[in-house]
């Protein structure tokens, strides 16, 4: 039985996905959904609002959406709001990774008798930050967008985490890492979900195919002597799970640990086709 206050994939197909966020039902574009829709057209017409990219980004029925609403995914609360790019402030395909972060940080604290130190880069609205903080970790949350960092802080308050040891950083990721190296800071768990293309706080350009290997090399120098691991995920079609596996294997897995990889998925009830939504890889020490 799905949670009426949570997230659920209802259907997909014909390059669209039909999702429920609490009481709000949305239809949005999805390039991976090349198959036929399963639900009848009448179900797709009952949406609260739809987002289109044909002729420029636009919402249809946006006036029916709340300005702000909240949902809960696996015990974690998220504040949602419609954006001009079709995003809502959450990527539910990360829910398996959030669960694994919580479990890993909890186990790490028991094993090492101290909280895990976690660095979350391109941290968006803070799903991975919340997961780590809920497990008692010390977290550094970094994103180039001041608005997204503020959104993540609101999510922390929503989950009663506003007094937890989280550093909220608005900065270009590469420049921040270079400063952390000079400060000789170290982290036990490194998390990054880089965009295909992005701009830093001062206009710095990030292109994933050019900049990701160098970024991982920098991160390798920030890893603590007692690491938990590295989580790398992305939504760039050219970077498949095997691509991410090889990147982590070369940078972190030559001497120890193991690398696991796979597709992130949006999921609904058992009869709903899972929807592939990006790639992930873990290096586990």
Low-confidence ranges of the chain (pLDDT < 50): none
Do residues 52 and 29 make contact, with C-beta atoms less than 8 angstroms apart? yes
**Can you give the residue range of the structural domain that contains 24?**
7-80
Do residues 27 and 16 make contact, with C-beta atoms less than 8 angstroms apart? yes
Q: Which pLDDT value is given to residue 205?
A: 75
Provide Rg for the chain, Cα atoms.
19
CATH code of the domain containing 48:
2.60.40.1180
164 shares a domain with 24: no
Of 60, 78, 56, residue with least CA distance to 69: 78
203 shares a domain with 257: yes
CATH code of the domain containing 104:
3.40.50.150
**Residue 217: strand, helix, or coil:** helix
- Flag whether 2 is in a domain: no
The structural domain count of the chain equals: 2
Do residues 233 and 260 make contact, with C-beta atoms less than 8 angstroms apart? no
13 shares a domain with 63: yes
Given 51, 80, 109, the domain boundary residue is 80
Q: Which pLDDT value is given to residue 1?
A: 56
66 shares a domain with 114: no
Q: Which pLDDT value is given to residue 197?
A: 83
124: left (phi over 0), alpha (psi -120 to 50) or beta: left
Q: How far is Cα 8 from Cα 205, in angstroms, rounded to an integer?
A: 35
**Residue 26: strand, helix, or coil:** strand
Do residues 166 and 156 make contact, with C-beta atoms less than 8 angstroms apart? yes
Q: Which pLDDT value is given to residue 204?
A: 73
124 shares a domain with 70: no
**What does the DSSP 8-state code read for residue 48?**
S
């Amino acid at each position: 039985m799905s949670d009426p206050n949570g997230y659920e994939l209802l259907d997909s197909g014909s390059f669209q996905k039909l999702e429920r966020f609490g009481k709000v039902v949305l239809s949005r574009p999805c390039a991976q959904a090349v198959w036929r829709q399963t639900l009848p057209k009448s179900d797709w017409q009952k949406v609260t609002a739809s987002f289109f990219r044909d002729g420029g980004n636009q919402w249809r029925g946006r006036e029916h959406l709340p300005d702000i609403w909240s949902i809960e995914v696996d015990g974690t609360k998220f504040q949602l709001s419609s954006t001009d790019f079709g995003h809502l402030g959450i990527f539910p395909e990360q829910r398996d990774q959030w669960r694994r972060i919580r479990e890993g940080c909890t186990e790490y604290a028991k094993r090492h008798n101290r909280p895990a130190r976690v660095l979350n880069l391109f941290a968006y609205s803070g799903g991975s930050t919340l997961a780590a903080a809920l497990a008692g970790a010390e977290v550094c949350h970094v994103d180039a967008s001041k608005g997204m960092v503020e959104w993540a802080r609101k999510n922390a308050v929503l989950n009663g985490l506003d007094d937890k040891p989280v550093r909220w950083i608005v900065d270009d990721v590469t420049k921040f890492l270079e400063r952390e190296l000079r400060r000789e800071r170290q982290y036990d768990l490194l998390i990054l979900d880089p965009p295909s293309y992005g701009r830093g706080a001062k206009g710095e350009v990030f292109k994933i195919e050019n900049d990701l290997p160098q970024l991982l090399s920098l991160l390798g120098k920030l890893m603590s002597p007692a690491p938990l691991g590295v989580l790398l995920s992305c939504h760039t079609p050219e970077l498949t799970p095997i691509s991410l596996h090889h990147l982590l294997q070369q940078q972190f897995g030559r001497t120890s640990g193991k690398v696991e990889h796979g597709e992130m998925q949006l999921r609904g009830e058992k009869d709903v086709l899972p929807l592939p939504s990006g790639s992930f890889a873990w290096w586990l020490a």
